[in-house]
């Protein structure tokens, strides 16, 4: 079986999800890794056009793309262009009787579904689809993408000043939030350091934004943002309903609080009763090790 | 007494009277026509109560004597009663001057004495008023120059009265069939002599002309309240205070809320004419006190001023709409959204102005016509609409709090005597779930037959209605009424004053009539009937009532398990529904609880927690948070209190937040009174945690 | 400018969906339906353009069962000018590509300048129809859009990417898949709701559109209900360093969220 992986690069390196996709492809059949090359920013349409041409010639059974925002965009257009099956954001994938069988979440994560579609198929895969092999990844072959054309031109890039490289709160997979337990804005570094290690978005309880320690845009809760990340870490937040209403649908909740009666500890998957100022720096250090190893 | 009007002077007097009353009358007529731009609201229900209010509030001046206004109130009442007596004398003077007639009884010594005494009282009062305005003006008091004019006019009236009376006695123009009244008698010797006649005539004319000037001037000033208070009290709302006005046939309307001056009722405009600018409403407003842009007096005066400014335009052109009152100034919406609908202003107003109704009418315009409620409030509305609760928690999770507690639903136990309407806060907020559990334990120990609606319950719409979305309120209320009627519910218990208020006072507007009782009223009577037994050493004693088994340290409690507990009056229990005594009686019945008051902000003067009027779901970033001020008041009044008890889930959330923000968790714990009871229940394990 | 917004009616985000006995679908009873959140933002984006450019018309369309009419009414109440319901047998199991082809037939008729849709629907969470519609129409598309502005001879479109926005310019018609933005979608005014109640919503029969409804589709083999939230693990009484190491390990190996 021929499996192609469309790799995504970040700062010259294959993204982790792309490496995992390669591992998955190798597991399923003969893997070929491709990357898109263009002289300027190419649209998903231009990328899909170039890839479709290559795919029609090369006839792979399966094309894997990492389910990043750009990857999902490209994969969707490519599948439509080829008229193939499209499965998006798959957490597990196997091939059975000429069918791609995947496990993916539906209804905003409330349902876990096993779905299938006939090959050939384009599949976008989520992080964790496979263990990255120890061997060095194969060198990607290059697909040249023509400048956009087709009625769409790149004009310019506008950098977002305020959040810098930080992920927007509403879309983040990991959120680290701080509450009154931090005792003052001068201690916010604890939250920031932890968020940095995890590549997480920053959140805050209403008490904190009200007190002016943090900007209002960071407020999570009924009067702030509603978030549903895979991992929500609450530091020193007691868990009034105002806050819970904004984050209780998070998949995994970690709460750290000195007060064992804090309501948030009661709904947390991991409830840590400890002094923030001792625990958080140690935790950040531990995570730094874990993330570095990955 | 014979008037100094002979011959041509009678005509002069008649002309002056015509002029004075003409100018005043023209103004009154104009104001009346402006007022009638408002829609026809029927305010003729309950005539007996109206008459009683008129006697007590208008004639008796009852609302003036409230603390901290006792002295001022007394001064005002003296001026007012003096005025009534003196007006009778004035009518007599004018009749006598023009037609030579007398009002019966005015020729008696009793009347002369009465007038004299009141004249003195009035003089003393206006001196007090002038001194206060000049030297001790409270910061919130608005003193217009017109105020001094009126004081001077009254002063001149009283002095000229005394002078002509004295001169009249001296000149023996007054029949001496009785002992001269004190002042007149006192001054009589001073004006005795050849000029007595002249002094009498001069003072008489000064007095009469001042009266006429007064008549001409009065309707141009806030002092019109002397007249308008009479109808304003007579036509005050006789709805329960907590009930907002229902909007009928929403489907048939084209505009909603106060889009123009025509969308206020005539009575709401009369309110504006009646405002005395005394500032008592502003003094009591929690929003104003904490630095918000809302000032209830300004709300009333702005509506009045807009009416006066645009009244002519609106009368000329029936299609003209004028400035929407909710946009009278750029900051108007912020003022309107700052209101917690706590009704401290309504309670404080001596002339029964209805501030909250006006605010809600303008909110209705903003919310329904422009969908311009603050975005967080908007989100709460969407949540109510889609999930049946303002936090957007799942409908299906509504009864999760009762899991494992064997609390039946009506579907399971349709013959239950009482429906316990849990409400959104106690259903979803973990802190308040403990209160619901406490109530369930109490009801069970009293052997009461009750059930809940479970997932069939949905928000009764109180926040929606107060934010101004009447449409959503009606949908929510209707859904609950249908659910109640499905099970033929007759008796309803609520642990939330907002639920209580809405179901008891507002559901009847949509045909849902039930016997509704707030849990604390019910528990009070159950205690009195001996159906609830409490022990000093309850099974979960030592103060862990809030479900804090770890916090059983006795450091917070007085020796022997006694503790000092301050009571915080929820606005929708207290001011809106006059339930002040039952919660206190329940607290007093709990062994070991020493109840204290948050002086002076308790009972009628209770200070809002900041959550009412939909404020629970809105940002509060201007000024101090209302709940933080409340904690300041608590600490200032009762620093020894180790608990602050309330009877409202929103107060509880706000008090918890305030205590947390101030780092006082170890000093004072917010609780619900029900938790106090549940923690001392005899012979049953407390289910409150 | 003529805008067309494609929406889908899905269970409201507050609903706890229940999986039916055959594990192929959710139980529709008791579900509160709503416009899919991203689609709501697409409507908002279109209406904001209309607010700023009074000549704009905003149409809204859905392919779905008759109950989806409520979603269209909601869109009309928010301020959309007209609505179209495409419905028919088996419409609820229609695949993404077939849905896109059906929509394309209507787009051909309506000839909008831009088509907007949410970046994904919150039921199947595929994120496919927008791109597939563009492909069927032969139009370009821009995904994860937060803003668009008409400019000389085209439209400038802001696409959210890491660290900022790419600005693209479409010279002709295009499909935009819309991202959530800072501002919540508007809440309809009551006059808007009342007007929408009385508005005619034309219905098109799916089968008579002449679209190719075949092609690959995704079959649902089994749905599992969301795993019940287990009682949390309480970690206390220990050296903070040890607790930290333990938690990091659990997050990585047990929760698998790192």
Hey, are the CB atoms on B431 and A261 less than 8 Å from each other? no
pLDDT, greater one: A78 or A293: A78
Task: Output the pLDDT for position B541.
Answer: 41
Which one of C30, C190, C197 would you mutate to disrupt binding with B, by most B Cβ within 10 Å of its Cβ? C190
Percent of chain A surpassing pLDDT 70: 96
User: Poorest-confidence range of B67-81, B189-203, B467-481?
Assistant: B189-203
Q: Is the pLDDT of residue A169 over 90?
A: no
pLDDT, greater one: B4 or B234: B234
For residues B657 and B631, the answer to whether their CB atoms sit within 8 Å is no
Task: Output the pLDDT for position B461.
Answer: 97
**Chains contacting chain C through 3 or more C-beta pairs under 8 A:** A, B
User: Poorest-confidence range of A158-172, B99-113, B456-470, C78-92?
Assistant: A158-172
For residues B208 and B94, the answer to whether their CB atoms sit within 8 Å is yes
Sequential DSSP letters for B323-379:
S-GGGSSTTHHHHHHT-----HHHHH-TT---HHHHHHHHHHIIIIIS--S-HHHHH
What is the per-residue pLDDT across B265-281, written as a single tens digit (0 to 9) for each?
999 999 999 999 889 99
Chain C residue with CA closest to B370: the answer is C189
Highest mean pLDDT among B149-153, B305-309, C227-231: B305-309
Task: Output the pLDDT for position B688.
Answer: 43
- CB contacts of B547 in chain A (<8 Å) are 261
Pick from C229, C204, C207: nearest CA to C85: C204
Domain ranges for chain C, please list them.
2-209
- Indicate where chain A has its CATH 3.40.50.620 domain(s): 2-144
Hey, are the CB atoms on C184 and B369 less than 8 Å from each other? no
Task: Output the pLDDT for position B551.
Answer: 40
Highest mean pLDDT among A138-147, B149-158, C78-87: C78-87
**Residue B166 confidence class, pLDDT cut points 50, 70, 90:** confident
Q: What is the mean pLDDT of chain A?
A: 90
Nearest to B371 among C12, C30, C188 (CB): C188
CB within 8 A of B54, min separation 6: which ones? B230, B233, B234
Task: Output the pLDDT for position A166.
Answer: 66
Percent of chain C surpassing pLDDT 70: 98
Rounded to whole angstroms, the Cα distance separating A151 from C174 reads 8
Mean pLDDT of B22-35: 96
For residues B453 and B483, the answer to whether their CB atoms sit within 8 Å is yes
**Residue B178 confidence class, pLDDT cut points 50, 70, 90:** low
Task: Output the pLDDT for position A294.
Answer: 52
**Residue B1 confidence class, pLDDT cut points 50, 70, 90:** low
Whether residue B666 lies within 8 A of chain A, CB to CB, comes out as no
- Indicate where chain A has its CATH 3.40.50.1220 domain(s): 169-293
Task: Output the pLDDT for position B381.
Answer: 96
Q: Is the pLDDT of residue B139 over 80?
A: no
Q: Hey, what domains does chain B have and what are their CATH numbers?
A: 8-220 (no CATH), 266-369 (1.10.1060.10), 383-679 (no CATH)
Rounded to whole angstroms, the Cα distance separating B419 from B422 reads 9
Rounded to whole angstroms, the Cα distance separating A93 from A280 reads 36
Mean pLDDT of A82-96: 95
Hey, are the CB atoms on C220 and A114 less than 8 Å from each other? yes
Task: Output the pLDDT for position B176.
Answer: 56
Q: Is the pLDDT of residue C194 over 90?
A: yes
- CB contacts of A257 in chain B (<8 Å) are none
Q: Which of residues 183-222 of C touch B (CB under 8 A)?
A: 183-184, 186-194
Q: What share of chain A is helix, strand, coil (3-state, %, to 5)?
A: 35, 30, 35
Rounded to whole angstroms, the Cα distance separating A220 from A228 reads 11
Q: Which of residues 540-559 of B touch A (CB under 8 A)?
A: 547-548, 550-551
Nearest to C189 among B371, B382, B387 (CB): B371
Helices (H), B100-191: 109-135, 145-170, 182-191
Q: Could you give the angle at which helices C69-78 and C37-52 cross, rounded to 10 degrees?
A: 30
Mean pLDDT of C38-63: 97
Whether residue A207 lies within 8 A of chain B, CB to CB, comes out as yes
Percent of chain B surpassing pLDDT 90: 70
Task: Output the pLDDT for position B540.
Answer: 43
Mean pLDDT of B252-261: 93
**Residue C255 confidence class, pLDDT cut points 50, 70, 90:** confident
Q: What is the mean pLDDT of chain C?
A: 93
The topology under which CATH files domain C2-209 is Rossmann fold (3.40.50)
Phi, psi of B307, rounded to the nearest 5 degrees: -65, -45
Mean pLDDT of C205-216: 91
The pTM assigned to this predicted structure is: 0.91
Q: How many CB pairs under 8 A join B and C?
A: 52
Whether residue B52 lies within 8 A of chain C, CB to CB, comes out as no
What is the per-residue pLDDT across A231-268, written as a single tens digit (0 to 9) for each?
999 999 998 888 998 998 898 999 999 999 899 999 99
Whether residue A239 lies within 8 A of chain B, CB to CB, comes out as yes
**Residue C225 confidence class, pLDDT cut points 50, 70, 90:** confident
* β partners of residue B596: B566
Helices (H), chain C: 37-52, 69-78, 96-110, 129-137, 190-198, 240-253
| CB crowding C108-131: b at 16 or more within 10 Å, else e | eeeebbbbbbbbbbbbbbbbbbbb
β-bridge pairing A152-159 and A99-106: unpaired
Phi, psi of C231, rounded to the nearest 5 degrees: -60, 135
The topology under which CATH files domain A2-144 is Rossmann fold (3.40.50)
Task: Output the pLDDT for position A216.
Answer: 86
Task: Output the pLDDT for position B547.
Answer: 43
**May I ask the CATH architecture of the domain A169-293?**
3-Layer(aba) Sandwich (3.40)
Chain A residue with CA closest to C181: the answer is A170
What is the per-residue pLDDT across B535-593, written as a single tens digit (0 to 9) for each?
865 444 444 444 444 443 333 444 456 899 999 999 999 999 999 999 999 999 999 99
Q: Is the pLDDT of residue B523 over 60?
A: yes
**Residue B191 confidence class, pLDDT cut points 50, 70, 90:** confident
Whether residue A184 lies within 8 A of chain B, CB to CB, comes out as no
CB atoms near residue C76 (< 10 Å): 23
Q: Which residue has the tokens 């399923």?
A: A28
**Residue C189 confidence class, pLDDT cut points 50, 70, 90:** very high
Taking the CA of residue B573 as centre, how many other CA atoms within 13 Å lie in the half-sphere pointing to its CB? 32
**Chains contacting chain B through 3 or more C-beta pairs under 8 A:** A, C
Q: How many CB pairs under 8 A join A and B?
A: 56
CA torsion sign for B210, B215, B218, B220 is: negative
**Residue C153 confidence class, pLDDT cut points 50, 70, 90:** confident
Hey, are the CB atoms on B428 and A241 less than 8 Å from each other? yes
């Amino acid at each position: 079986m021929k499996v192609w992986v469309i790799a995504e690069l970040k700062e010259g390196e294959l993204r982790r999800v792309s490496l995992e996709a390669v591992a998955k492809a190798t597991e399923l059949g003969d893997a070929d890794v491709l990357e898109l090359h263009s002289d300027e920013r190419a649209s998903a349409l231009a990328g899909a056009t170039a890839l479709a041409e290559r795919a029609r010639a090369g006839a792979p059974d399966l094309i894997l793309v990492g389910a990043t925002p750009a990857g999902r965009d490209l994969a969707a257009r490519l599948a439509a262009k080829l008229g193939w099956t499209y499965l998006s954001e798959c957490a597990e994938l196997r091939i059975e009787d000429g069918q791609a069988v995947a496990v993916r979440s539906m209804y905003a994560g409330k349902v876990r579904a096993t779905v299938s579609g006939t090959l050939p198929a384009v599949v976008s895969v989520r992080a964790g689809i496979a263990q990255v092999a120890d061997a060095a990844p194969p060198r990607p072959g290059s697909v040249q993408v023509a400048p956009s054309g087709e009625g769409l031109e790149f004009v310019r890039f506008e950098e977002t000043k305020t959040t810098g490289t930080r992920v927007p709160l509403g879309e983040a997979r990991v959120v680290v939030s701080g509450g009154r337990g931090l005792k003052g804005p001068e201690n916010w570094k604890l939250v920031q350091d932890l968020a940095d290690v995890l590549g997480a978005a920053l959140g805050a309880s209403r008490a904190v934004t009200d007190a002016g320690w943090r900007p209002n845009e960071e407020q999570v809760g009924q009067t702030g943002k509603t978030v549903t990340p895979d991992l929500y870490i609450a530091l020193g937040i007691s868990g009034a309903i105002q806050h819970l209403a904004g984050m209780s649908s998070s998949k995994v909740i970690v709460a750290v609080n000195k007060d064992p009666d804090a309501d948030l500890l009661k709904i947390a998957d991991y409830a840590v009763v400890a002094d923030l100022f001792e625990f958080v720096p140690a935790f950040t250090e531990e995570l730094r090790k874990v993330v570095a190893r990955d | 007494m014979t008037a100094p009007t002979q011959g041509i002077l009678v005509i002069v007097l008649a002309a002056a009277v015509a002029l004075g009353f003409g100018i005043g009358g023209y103004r009154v007529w104009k104001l009346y026509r402006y007022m009638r731009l408002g829609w026809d609201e029927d305010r003729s229900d309950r005539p007996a109560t109206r008459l009683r209010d008129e006697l007590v509030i208008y004639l008796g001046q009852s609302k003036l004597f409230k603390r901290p206004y006792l002295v001022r109130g007394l001064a005002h009442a003296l001026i007012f009663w003096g005025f009534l007596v003196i007006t009778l004398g004035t009518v007599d003077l004018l009749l006598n001057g023009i037609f030579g007639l007398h009002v019966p009884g005015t020729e008696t010594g009793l009347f002369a004495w009465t007038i004299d005494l009141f004249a003195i009282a009035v003089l003393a009062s206006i001196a007090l008023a002038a001194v206060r305005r000049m030297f001790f003006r409270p910061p919130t008091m608005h003193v217009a120059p017109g105020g001094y004019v009126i004081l001077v006019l009254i002063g001149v009236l009283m002095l000229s009265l005394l002078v002509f009376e004295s001169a009249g006695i001296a000149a023996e123009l007054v029949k001496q069939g009785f002992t001269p009244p004190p002042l007149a008698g006192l001054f009589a010797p001073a004006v005795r002599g050849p000029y007595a006649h002249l002094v009498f005539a001069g003072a008489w004319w000064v007095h009469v002309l001042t009266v006429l000037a007064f008549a001409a001037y009065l309707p141009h000033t806030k002092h019109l309240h002397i007249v308008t208070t009479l109808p304003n009290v007579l036509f005050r709302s006789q709805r329960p205070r907590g009930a907002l006005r229902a909007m009928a046939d929403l489907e048939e309307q084209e505009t909603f809320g106060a889009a123009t001056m025509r969308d206020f009722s005539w009575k709401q405009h009369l309110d504006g004419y009646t405002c005395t600018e005394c500032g008592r409403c502003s003094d009591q407003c929690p929003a104003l006190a904490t630095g918000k842009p809302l000032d209830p007096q300004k709300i009333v005066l702005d509506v009045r001023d807009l009416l006066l400014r645009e009244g002519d335009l609106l009368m000329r052109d029936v299609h003209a709409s004028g400035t929407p009152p909710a946009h009278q100034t750029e900051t108007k919406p912020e003022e309107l959204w700052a209101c917690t609908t706590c009704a401290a202003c309504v309670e404080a107003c001596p002339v029964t102005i209805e501030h909250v109704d006006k605010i809600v009418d303008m909110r209705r315009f903003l919310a329904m016509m422009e969908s311009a409620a603050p975005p967080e409030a908007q989100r709460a509305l969407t949540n109510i609409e889609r999930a049946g609760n303002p936090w957007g928690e799942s409908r299906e999770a509504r009864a999760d709090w009762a899991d494992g507690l064997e609390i039946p639903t009506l579907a399971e136990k349709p013959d239950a005597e009482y429906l316990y309407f849990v409400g959104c806060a106690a259903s979803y907020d973990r802190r308040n779930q403990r209160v619901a559990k406490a109530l369930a334990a109490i009801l069970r120990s009293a052997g009461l037959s009750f059930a809940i609606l479970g997932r069939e319950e949905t928000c009764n719409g109180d926040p929606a209605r107060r934010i101004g979305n009447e449409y959503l309120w009606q949908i929510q209320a209707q859904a609950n009424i249908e659910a109640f009627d499905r099970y033929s519910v007759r008796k309803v218990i609520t642990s939330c004053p907002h639920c209580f208020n809405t179901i008891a006072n507002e559901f009847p507007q949509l045909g849902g009539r039930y016997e509704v009782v707030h849990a604390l009223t019910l528990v009070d009577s159950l205690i009195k009937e001996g159906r609830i037994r409490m022990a000093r050493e309850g099974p979960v004693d030592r103060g862990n009532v809030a479900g804090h088994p770890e916090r059983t340290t006795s450091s917070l409690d007085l020796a022997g398990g006694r503790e000092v507990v301050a009571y915080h009056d929820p606005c929708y229990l207290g001011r809106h529904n006059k339930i002040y005594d039952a919660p206190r009686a329940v607290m007093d019945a709990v062994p070991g609880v020493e109840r204290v008051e948050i002086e002076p902000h308790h009972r009628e003067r209770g200070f809002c927690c900041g959550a009412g009027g939909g404020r629970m779901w809105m940002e509060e970033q201007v000024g101090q948070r209302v709940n933080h001020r409340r904690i300041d008041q608590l600490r200032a009044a009762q620093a020894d209190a180790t608990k602050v008890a309330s009877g409202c889930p929103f107060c509880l959330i706000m008090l918890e937040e305030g205590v947390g923000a101030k780092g006082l968790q170890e000093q004072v714990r917010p609780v619900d009174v029900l938790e106090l009871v549940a923690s001392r229940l005899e012979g049953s394990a407390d289910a409150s945690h | 400018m003529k805008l067309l917004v494609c929406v889908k009616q899905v269970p409201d985000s507050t609903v706890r969906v229940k999986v039916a006995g055959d594990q192929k679908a959710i139980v529709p009873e008791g579900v509160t339906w709503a416009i899919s959140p991203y689609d709501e933002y697409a409507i908002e984006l279109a209406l904001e353009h209309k607010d700023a450019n009074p000549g704009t018309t905003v149409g809204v369309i859905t392919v779905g069962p008759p109950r989806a009419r409520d979603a269209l009414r909601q869109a009309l109440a928010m301020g959309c000018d007209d609505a179209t319901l495409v419905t028919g047998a088996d419409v609820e199991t229609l695949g993404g590509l077939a849905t896109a082809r059906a929509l394309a037939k209507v787009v051909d008729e309506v000839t909008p300048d831009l088509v907007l849709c949410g970046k994904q629907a919150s039921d199947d969470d595929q994120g496919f129809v927008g791109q597939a519609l563009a492909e069927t129409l032969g139009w370009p598309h821009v995904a994860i859009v937060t803003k668009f502005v008409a400019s000389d001879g085209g439209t400038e479109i802001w696409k959210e990417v890491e660290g900022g926005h790419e600005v693209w310019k479409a010279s002709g018609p295009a499909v935009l898949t819309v991202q959530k933005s800072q501002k919540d979608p508007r809440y309809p005014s009551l006059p808007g709701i009342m007007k929408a109640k009385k508005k005619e919503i034309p219905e098109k029969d799916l089968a008579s559109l002449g679209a190719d409804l075949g092609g690959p589709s995704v079959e649902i083999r089994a749905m599992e209900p969301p795993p019940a939230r287990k009682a949390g693990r309480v970690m206390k009484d220990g050296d903070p360093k040890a607790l930290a190491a333990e938690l990091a390990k659990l997050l990585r190996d047990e929760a698998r969220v790192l």
